[in-house]
Amino acid sequence: MAGALPLGDPAPTDGRLGVSADPGTDFGVYLHVPFCRVRCGYCDFNTYTATELRGARQDQYADTLLHEIGLSRRVLEEAGPLRPARTVFFGGGTPTLLPAGDLARMLDGVRDAFSLALDAEITVEANPDTVTDAVVERLASAGVNRLSIGMQSSVPHVLAALDRSHSPENVSLAVAAAKRAGLDVSVDLIYGAPGESLDDWRHSLETALSLEPDHISAYALIIEEGTKLARQISRGEVAAPDDDLQADMYELADALLAGGGYEWYEVSNWSRGEAHRSRHNLSYWRGFDWWGYGPGAHSHVAGLRWWNVKHPAAYAQRLALGESPAAGRETPDADARALERVLLETRIREGMAISELPSAAARTAIAGLVADGLVDGSAAIRGRIVLTLRGRLLADAVVRSLTV
């Protein structure tokens, strides 16, 4: 289970937002499915295995979440004209641990409450072991058009270090099944696991490229407090990730993926052209509105942020009483919003307009960042902050320089 929820103001039991939504801002939907067969040692997401549910029932989850969708429609009607969902993302956990029919009913709930944009991107995350032709065909018939497969690695000892339960062979079977159903395919990779060498990482990248997905994500392993892996490192049982090795791994990924026809569009994401970018994730980086459904899910509408109670049983109990499952909320001030804007917008390929920086001192810092090879000089002349490859490796340092 994930760590503590953020501190914030109490959330009203009726869920009312007290804000007016901009009808011109894109609206997205995140549906959290908090179930996993086993807990991966590195994961601090809000997920639960069967022994941790304590009264919550997996077979009733879709019905419970549909209650939150109904509540959200009433709340959003008060905030302004209802907007069609431009993106829908089933995340977890492992959404495909639920029957495909349950996921289809949840999507129908969104469609009935808000409608879907004609070009809506609808993504389901999946563990390779849970993907079959029957599953993806049912998802496709429901309107799902994108599958994000948790590959992580193609090297058995790396998968074991991450406590991943799937076999490398099942990734190719899952990708093939998704393609037969006509779905766009993304594969997710993690680099920097204990015992992973640069050659191991090269093998995983080359294997991913051989599958010819439409999109590839590659995330550096981060050691989260409270996880099994963090405890193993603190006891000296395994080594902590090596920053220099992870930098080498990132550079290798960028080189191999670019050579394979994939362009980076966000620090950790590459796609086969703009049409295959994850529009849902871009909506987060661009500060659009979204409602996150499910235990521990976070939402954002018109500058207001809120988050749900964490445990599935508490989540179900709130909704059974006709109450909002929101545990807390906040409205970030101008300084916090400016910092977040720099943090998020500089991560994407199009970068951020220099004119939108929060201070004159930040604008003055651009010349030094260009001189240090962190920001593209030609883009800066055109008025935008675009990270170089070196800048992507040192993105946090760039953000610190731009938020002075």
Cβ count within 10 A of residue 170: 17
Cβ-proximal residues to 108 (8 Å cutoff; 6+ apart), any chain:
142
Nearest to 308 by CA among 72, 101, 93, 11: 11
Whichever domain contains 126, its CATH number is 3.20.20.70
Element (H, E) at 28: strand 27-33
211 & 348 share domain: no
C-alpha to C-alpha distances, 96 to 65, 169, 197, nearest whole angstrom = 16, 18, 31
**Residue 225: its pLDDT value, please?**
85
User: Is 312 a domain residue?
Assistant: no
Res 134: pLDDT: 98
pLDDT mean for each 10 residues of the chain (404 residues): 75 96 97 90 82 87 98 97 98 95 98 98 96 98 98 96 88 98 98 96 98 98 87 90 97 98 98 98 96 97 97 96 97 92 96 93 95 98 98 96 88
Examine the fold and report which residue of 285, 318, 342 is the final residue of a domain before the chain moves on.
285
pLDDT recorded at residue 3: 63
Cis status, amide bond into 182, omega within 30 of 0: no
Provide the greatest CA pair distance for the chain: 59
Write the DSSP assignment of 31-61 as a string of letters.
Answer: EEE-B-SS--TT--SS-B-GGG-TT--GGGH
Does 325 fall in a domain?
A: no
CA 273 to chain CA centroid, Å, is: 20
Same domain, residue pair 253 and 353: no
Map residue 7 onto helix, strand or coil. coil
Domain identity same for 117 and 189: yes
Q: Is there a contact between 265 and 349 (Cβ–Cβ < 8 Å)?
A: yes
72-to-32, 109, 192, 271 alpha-carbon distances in Å:
15, 11, 40, 33
Same domain, 120 and 53: yes
Do 100 and 170 fall into the same domain? yes
Would 69 be classed as within a structural domain?
yes
Contact assessment for residue 336 and residue 303, using Cβ atoms and an 8 Å cutoff: no
Identify whether 16 is part of a domain. Answer: no
In a domain, 305, yes or no: no
Q: Which residue has the tokens 């601090």?
A: 44
In a domain, 142, yes or no: yes
**pTM across the whole model:** 0.95
Residues 77 and 225 in one domain: yes
354 and 211, same domain (yes or no): no
Print the domain residue range for 345: 334-402
Q: Could you tell me if 187 and 126 lie in one domain?
A: yes
Instruction: Check residue 322 and give its pLDDT.
Output: 96
What is the per-residue pLDDT for 37?
85
Task: Give the per-residue pLDDT at 2.
Answer: 55
- Cα distance between residue 329 and residue 305, in whole Å: 5
Domain boundary among 216, 250, 285: 285
Question: Is 326 inside a domain boundary?
Answer: no
Shared domain check, 280 and 339: no
Q: Are residues 209 and 350 in the same domain?
A: no
Asked if 15 and 66 touch (Cβ cutoff 8 Å), the reply is no
Count of domains observed in the chain: 2
Q: What is the pLDDT of residue 22?
A: 96
User: Are 348 and 277 found together in one domain?
Assistant: no
Q: What's the CA gap between 293 and 65, in Å, rounded?
A: 7
Give a yes or no: residue 316 inside a domain.
no
Domain boundary among 253, 268, 285: 285
User: Quick one: tokens of 247?
Assistant: 């930098």
Half-sphere exposure of 4 (CA within 13 A, CB side): 3
pLDDT of residue 45: 83
